[in-house]
């Protein structure tokens, strides 16, 4: 007997199929806000999970997993994944993935991120290792490697009343001449979306400053921040091209910031960010005549 959950991330639907197992309650809690009630609706990807309760990889933790060693072979049509306690047969060409994992929610996340990340790259889009918020309905992306301050920026923005899209991993998809930023479940995210307005490469400093940087300088920094779902050459190449496409459509800035909201003053001094500032009313509505 199996039970399914339909998950929507970045306008893609993934059907997760589990054996009757205590994992389901944790999955429902983990992906709250991203689950759909339409069990029979079509999905771009089907993920079949087999839970191995005996698997206990080195450093096993039931909730999170940090950079697990995964060996992969194949391409963006189909890849076989192997790691401690983890096996995956990911067939994107058929929209079907089969995964064996330990009894740990973190490995569900791992499988979903790999499946979604490659599928987005196949469509010319990408997941990005970044935090993102909506400000006046525009998506602002904060990129950097672990420790750069993404979670700190996300917390400051949330405390300022901005809507958090995610504080670790966001999706970027082509939309007309621009891009849209999508929240994900990785982590503390929402299903909200908005047009991408800017990418900020984070640098911690006592004095806030914002500097526009060209795409050829931004690209190496974003590659170092990471986000490619697998180390396969075809996947790495597609990720490189997706970042190049992103930087052709969205301006990049170096943001030096201290852990307080003062960096917004530096951002708002840029002329191109004038649309974020409140605009004065140009006219008053006259009362209707008797």
Mean pLDDT, residues 34-45 taken together? 90
Please, what are the domains in the chain? 2-122 (no CATH), 126-275 (3.90.228.20)
**Greater pLDDT, 285 or 54:** 54
Predicted structure pTM score: 0.90
Q: Which string of DSSP letters, residue by residue, matches 26-63?
A: HHHHHTTTTEES-TTS--SEEEEEEEETT---TT--SS
| b/e sequence 36-74, b meaning 16+ C-beta within 10 Å | eeeeeeebbbbbbbebeeebebeebeeeebeebebebeb
Render pLDDT for 163-189 as a digit per residue (tens, 0 to 9).
999 999 999 999 988 999 999 998 889
In the predicted model, is pLDDT for residue 55 greater than 80? no
Render pLDDT for 85-126 as a digit per residue (tens, 0 to 9).
889 999 999 999 999 998 888 889 999 999 999 999 999 999
């Amino acid at each position: 007997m199996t039970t399914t959950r339909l998950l929507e991330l970045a306008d893609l639907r993934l059907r997760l199929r589990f054996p009757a197992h205590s994992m389901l309650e944790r999955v429902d809690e983990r992906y709250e806000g991203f689950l759909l009630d339409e069990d029979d609706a079509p999905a771009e990807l089907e993920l079949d999970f087999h839970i191995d309760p005996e698997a206990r990889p080195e450093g096993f933790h039931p909730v999170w997993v940090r950079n697990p060693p995964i060996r992969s072979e194949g391409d963006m049509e189909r890849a076989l994944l192997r790691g401690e306690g983890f096996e995956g047969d990911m067939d994107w060409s058929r929209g079907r993935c089969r995964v064996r994992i330990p009894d740990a929610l973190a490995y569900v996340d791992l499988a979903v991120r790999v499946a979604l990340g490659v599928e987005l790259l196949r469509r010319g889009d990408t997941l990005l290792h970044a935090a993102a918020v909506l400000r006046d309905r525009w998506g602002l992306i904060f990129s950097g490697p672990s420790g750069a301050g993404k979670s700190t920026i996300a917390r400051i923005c949330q405390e300022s009343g901005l809507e958090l899209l995610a504080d670790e991993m966001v999706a970027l998809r082509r939309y007309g001449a621009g891009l849209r930023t999508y929240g994900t479940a990785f982590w503390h995210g929402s299903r909200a979306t908005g047009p991408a307005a800017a990418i900020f490469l984070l640098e911690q400093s006592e004095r806030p400053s914002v500097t526009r940087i060209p795409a050829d300088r931004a690209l190496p920094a974003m590659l170092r921040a990471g986000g490619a779902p697998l180390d396969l050459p075809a996947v790495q190449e597609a990720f490189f091209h997706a970042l190049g496409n992103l930087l052709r459509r969205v301006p990049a800035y170096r943001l030096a910031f201290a852990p307080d909201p003062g960096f917004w003053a530096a951002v708002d001094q840029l002329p191109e960010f004038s649309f974020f500032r409140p605009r004065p009313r140009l006219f008053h509505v006259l009362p209707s005549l008797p």
